[in-house]
Amino acid sequence: MSKRFALLSVFVFASLVFVGWGLSQSGPSTQWGIHDMNRPLPPVVDPGPAGPPAPAPSDAVVLFDGKDLSKWADSKGNPARWKVENGYFEVVARTGSLLTKQGFGDCQLHVEWAAPAEVKGESQERGNSGVYIMGLYEVQVLDSYNNRTYADGSAAAIYGQYPPLVNASRKPGEWQTYDIVFHRPVFGQDKNLVSPVRMTVFHNGVLVQDNVVLSGPTENKKRPSYAYHPDALPISLQDHGNPVRYRNIWIRELKEAK
């Protein structure tokens, strides 16, 4: 290989890496304000009927096995007070959100949930909860079946940042699944951000978030920037006052790419 050709090859490779990196850094749309009701809603798709609980892989940490909440605590570290019965647990209003006792970073997370079969309320007051990875980055839980709300707050939205690509919700009372691939933010020795959060989400087996890049933690009324935090933090499930049910929760810790 000639020296000139070698230098050209290095230049082309570096250019491709730079372009790929640039594409991967795209963030939430700035065309729409947070929770803009004029933002188009995702198209509806039928994900098919619910199946039996998905078995956990052999290398997974089972966070709920249908029996007890021993892997969880409330926000103050006290025993979890949500109701456990018939292989699921249910939000008990005003008892607080739940947090795993163990912290996690890069992971594959499987969660099964069901909105209340009896429909009460509308928009954000209907089957509302949330899955917070690291306690900071929320995938919205909501009854989005024939329920109009703001696009970036519908089921499987990265709350306040990304609406789902499609609305793959099942009817109220039916079991639904989230399969989430999460790559944590990386901070340098100076505690400044090196690379942001990336998330991929499947809702009932349908791709709804495709390796999206988060602008920071998810919040209700603003888009906060990243602030340094540990490499591993608890998973949290939100008490929003609605009796949402959860079952068959497991997580696989992913080996971080260098």
Helix, strand, or coil (residue 148):
coil
In a domain, 240, yes or no: yes
Question: pLDDT band at residue 145, thresholds of 50, 70 and 90?
Answer: very high
Q: CA–CA separation, 36 vs 149, rounded Å?
A: 9
Mean pLDDT of all residues in 235-253: 96
Q: What's the domain count of the chain?
A: 1
pLDDT band, very low/low/confident/very high, at 26 (cuts 50, 70, 90): low
**Would residue 134 count as lying in a domain?**
yes
Q: How confident is the model at residue 201 (pLDDT cuts 50, 70, 90)?
A: very high
Global pTM? Answer: 0.87
Backbone angles phi, psi at 249, to 5 degrees: -105, 125
Q: What is the CATH classification number for the domain harbouring 48? A: 2.60.120.560
Position 258 in a domain: no
* Rounded Cα gap, residues 243 and 109, in angstroms: 22
Instruction: Let me know if residue 78 belongs to a domain.
Output: yes
- The C-alpha atoms of residue 258 and residue 256 are separated, in whole angstroms, by 6
* Band (101; pLDDT cuts 50, 70, 90): very high
Rounded distance, CA 91 to CA 114, Å?
11
132-154 in b/e burial notation, b at 16+ Cβ within 10 A?
Answer: bbbbbbbbbbbbbbebebbbbbb
Separation between Cα atoms, residue 162 and residue 157, nearest integer Å: 6
Per cent of the chain over pLDDT 70 is 89
Q: Is the Cβ–Cβ distance between 85 and 92 less than 8 Å?
A: no
Domain range holding 35?
A: 3-253
What Å distances lie between residue 190 and 186, 227, 233, 244, CA to CA? Answer: 11, 12, 20, 41
Contact 175, 247 (CB under 8 A): yes
